[in-house]
Structure 1
Amino acid sequence: MTYRVVQWTTGNVGKKSVHAITANTELDLVGCYAWSADKVGRDVGELCGIDPLGIAATDDVDALLALGPDCVVYNPMFADVDDLVRILEAGINVVTTSEFIDGTCLCAGRDRVVDACERGGATIFGSGINPGFIQLFAIVTAGISDRVDRISIVESFDTTIYNSPATEIPMGFGYPIGHPELQAVTEKGSGIFREAVLLVADALGVDLDGVRCQADYAQTTEDLLLPGDWTIAAGCVAGIDVRWTGLVGDRQIIEVRGVWTKGQTLEPVWSPSFGYTITVEGRPTIKSTLSFEPPPDFVGETLDDFVMLGLTITAMPAITAIPAVVAAPPGIATYTDLPLLLPRGVLTTTPPRS
C-alpha cells in the first residue's frame, strides 16, 4: 500500500525527509507544516532545494489534520507536546527524529502523549537523534554473542560545517570553559542519551540501578567563525565528550557516548575518529565501525550538500519505520516493540552514474 504522509517542518533534517519521502515509491507526501511565517505558502520542493511538488507549506494545523494522513514525519529538534497531542488524538501516527525515544525527556508531558495515543488510537515512534538507529545496530550486534558483559556506543565527529547553533549551544558549545553550570547544561542538552541507555537495557532485559552523565570539554585557542554567523570565542567550549552510562550495582554495563569537536585549535588536543563504533564486550567480543561516504554520482557544490548527505542517516530510520508504526497498537513504540524495519521503496532500478 501507499502511505499518506505529512511532513512537519523543513529544517536540516526535515529537508532530507522531504527528499526521501518524495523519492520513495511507497510514500505519498500530501502536506507540510511550516514553522516560520516566511515559509508559509511556498512550494515544499522549493523550500527543500528540489523541483516544485505542487504542495504549499502551511501553518494551519487543522487543515493538515483534515487531510487524514496515515503518518506525520515530525522533525523539530525538540518535541512540542501540544503539537504531538493534537496530532495523535486526531488518530494520526507519528514518527519523529526529535528528542524522543520513550518520552522520558518530556517529563510530565509524556503522560499527555500516552493519553492522546489512547484517545486517538495512534502510535508514536522516536528513532532518536544523532542518529538513534545506532542503538538498534548495537542491539543486533549483541545478538551474536552468547555472553554480554558490556555494550559501548561511541559517536565521533568534527561538526565544524554543521549549521545548527540552536541545537549545539544547548549541549554546551560556546560556553566559557570554566562555566560553573557547564556539566548541568550538557546533561540537560544530551538527555536523549539517557533514553538510549534505557532502550539498550530494555533489549537486554535488565533493570538498571542508575544512569549517570559525565562530560569533558576542550576549549578553542582562537575565535571560531562558524556557519550561521555563529562565533565561538577563544577560551570557550569547542569540544564535548559526553558519556551516559547505565549501571547494575557499581558496574557500568552500557555506555552511550558522543565526542564532538570543532576545528583544529582545541586545547587539549583531541583526535577523535569519524563515525560510529559499537563494542560488545563478551563471548566473543565484537567491535563494529560504521562510517559513510558519498555515492559515485554525488555532486557536492556547497558545505550544505555534504551536511545533507550526513543527515540522511538521521532522517531515514524514522521514515523506514512508517509501515510498522502504522500497523502497531496505540501508544509509544520503540525499536524493541516494532518488528524488523524493512527498507521498502528505496531500491533504484537504474545504476548510479560513476
Structure 2
Amino acid sequence: MGTHRVAVWGTGDVGHFVLRGVLQRPDLDLVGLRVWNPEKAGRDAGDFLGWDVTGVAATTSTAEILAARPDVLIHCGPSRNVEGLPEFLAAGVNVVTLGSARLAHPASAPAELRDPLAAACAAGGSTLFYGGIDPGFAAHTLPVTLSAICERIDLLTSYEVRDYDPLPLHQLDYFNFGRETTDGARFFTPGGIRGTWESPLRLIAEALGQELDDIVEFHETAPAPEDFEVPAMPIPKGSIAAVRFGLRGIIDGVERIRIEHVNRLRRDLAPEWMVRQGYGVHVEGSPRYHLHLDLEDPDGVQPRPALWGTAMYMVNAVPAVVAAAPGLVTVLDLPIIRGATVGGEHRPAAWGLSERIRRGETRTTGAH
C-alpha cells in the first residue's frame, strides 16, 4: 500500500478531527497544515491535539503548503467557500473539500461554481471530491448502498435527526430558532433547502437510474411550550423550538426520494416527528427496510460526533481520490471508500470547541 502526502486546511471543528485521522492512518503522510490565526503559526501539528511532535509546523502561508508538494489537500474551509482551491487543483494537487455541498453532484452545481474548478482540474490533471456526512455519506451513500438489497422502491427516505441545543448561535439562526416566524431564515427562504441538499437528492436519483421531474421543498416548525434556555440563547414561549424540513424528489408525478431533517432544541418537543438522534434510511417497497446510524464519542465528551464522521469520510477518501480520473467526481465515480486503521488503542485528544464557536460568533472568511 503506497503512502500519500496530505496537507490539511484548517484546524477548526472538523479540521482537528481530520488532522488526527491523517496522523492515525498508516498510508497517509502529513506534510502541511494551513491556519489563519498568527498565534497558531509555528505550532507543531501534534500540539493541536496534545499528541507527540510530528515535525510539521502550522503555517499561515498558502505558498508554503503548495511548496510541500502534497498529493491531496483536505480542505475544511467555511461552508460555501472554495476560495483558493483552483490554485491547488491547477498545480496538480487533488482536493477533498467541504467548501460547497453543491459539489456532491457537480453536474447540477451552478456553472459559476463548477466551471472554474473543472478548468483547474483539467489544467493540473487533478481531482476534486466533496466529502462530508450530510450532505455526504449519510445523505447519499447509505441510501444508495441499501438500494442494492431492494427488489422495488416506492419511497426512499434519507434522514438526519439531531438535537441542536448545544450548537452556537449562528447555526441556530439558520432556522430562526427562538423567533416567532421563519421570515428571513437561511434554510426557509425559497431555494434555501434545495441549495444544500439538492446535490445528494440528484445523486441518489442518478444512482437509481432515474430522472427527477421536480424537487419540492417542505418545512414545518414546532413552538416552545414555555420559556427555556439553551447555551447560546433564551427560547421564549411560542417561538420556534423544533423544525422538520427537507426535499421531495418527484418521479413520474409521485414522490419517490426524500431527504428529511428533524432538529430540536429539546428532546421532548414534537414527539410525532422522528426522535432517535442520528442518521438513517427508510425504504418503503419490497422488502421494507429501516436502517439507523448512531454516533458516539468513545470519550463521552464530544457533543457533536458527526463532525468526527465528517472528517473521517474526507480522510478515508484520499486513496480513492488519488487513484481517480482527473475532474470533479462523485462517490459514484470512486471505488468503495473504506478505513485502513485496524486495531491499536483509542487516542484521546486535547482539542475543544474554540471560544469563538462557544460564543456563537459567525466565522469570517478563511478563519479557523
Q: Is the 8 A contact 2:81 2:100 kept in 1?
A: no
Shift of residue 245, structure 1, vs aligned partner: 1.4
Q: Is the 8 A contact 1:224 1:233 kept in 2?
A: yes
How far the C-alpha of 1:238 sits from its partner, in A, is: 3.1
Query: Residue in 1 aligned with 2:290?
Result: 287
1:82-161 mapped onto 2 (5 Å cutoff): 82-100=83-101, 101-103=104-106, 104=108, 108-130=112-134, 132-134=136-138, 135-161=140-166
Q: Does 1:215 align with 2:222?
A: no
Is this contact kept in 2: 1:74–1:97, CA < 8 A?
Answer: yes
Query: What RMSD over aligned residues (CA atoms) do the two structures have, in Å?
Result: 2.6
Aligned to 1:348: 343
**1:178 pairs with 2:181:** yes
Shift of 1:258: 1.1
The reply on whether 1:331 has 2:333 as its aligned counterpart is: no
Partner amino acid for 2:150? S
In 2, Cα distance between equivalents of 1:139 and 1:64? 36
8 Å CA contact retained: 1:172, 1:186? no
SS at match of 1:108: helix
Out of 113-122 and 78-87, give the one that drifted further. Answer: 78-87
1:140-173 per-residue CA deviation (whole Å, 9 max, x = no partner) reads 11111122222101111213234x444443x324
Distance 2:117 2:307 in 1: 27
Q: Does 1:68 align with 2:69?
A: yes
What SS does structure 2 have at the residue aligned with 1:180?
A: coil
Which amino acid letter does the alignment assign opposite residue 231 of structure 1? M
- Looking at structure 2, the residues matched to 271 and 336 of structure 1 have their Cα atoms a distance apart, in angstroms, of 29
Tell me the TM-score normalized by structure 2: 0.83
Q: Deviations over 1:162-196 (max 9, x none)?
A: 4x444443x32436231433364485266321111
Cα deviation per residue 1:76-123 (whole Å; 9 max; x = unaligned)?
Answer: 241423311111111101112343312455651211111111111111
1:295-306 aligned at under 5 Å gives the runs 298-300=298-300, 305-306=301-302
Partner of 2:361: none
**Structure 1 contact 105–192 (Cα < 8 Å) conserved:** no
Please say if 1:255 is aligned against 2:248.
no
The 1:63–1:51 alpha-carbon spacing in structure 2 relative to 1, beyond 3 Å, is same
Three-state SS of the structure 2 residue aligned to 1:82 is: coil
Deviation at 1:49, TM superposition (A): 4.4
- Report if aligned partners of 2:75, 2:95 keep a CA contact under 8 Å in 1: yes
Question: Tell me, which stretches of 5 or more residues in structure 2 are unaligned?
Answer: 348-368
User: Size of the alignment, in residue pairs?
Assistant: 339
Partner residue, 2:19: 18
User: Structure 1 residue 347: deviation in Å?
Assistant: 0.5
TM-score (norm 1): 0.86
Q: How far off its partner does 1:61 sit?
A: 0.7
Question: Are the counterparts in 2 of residues 97 and 314 from structure 1 also a CA contact under 8 Å?
Answer: no
Per mean C-alpha deviation after superposition, the further-off stretch among 194-203 and 149-158 is 149-158
Measured against aligned partners, the alpha-carbon deviations of 1:242-268 in whole angstroms (never above 9, x if no partner) come to 111111132111101111111258579
1:313 aligns to 2:309 (yes or no) = yes
Paired residues of 1:20 and 1:316 also in contact (CA < 8 A)? yes
Distance 1:264 1:208, change over 3 A: closer
Partner AA of 2:233 in structure 1: T
CA drift of 1:10 comes to 0.8
Letter in 2 for 1:147: R
Specify whether residues 278 and 18 from structure 1 end up closer, same or farther in structure 2 by C-alpha distance, changes over 3 A only: same
Distance in 2 (alpha carbons) for counterparts of 1:94 and 1:286 = 35
CA distance in 1, matches of 2:334, 2:136: 15
Matches of 1:136 and 1:265, distance apart in 2 = 30
Aligned to 2:302, the other structure's residue is in SS state helix
Cα distance, 1:286–1:80 mapped onto 2, change above 3 Å: same
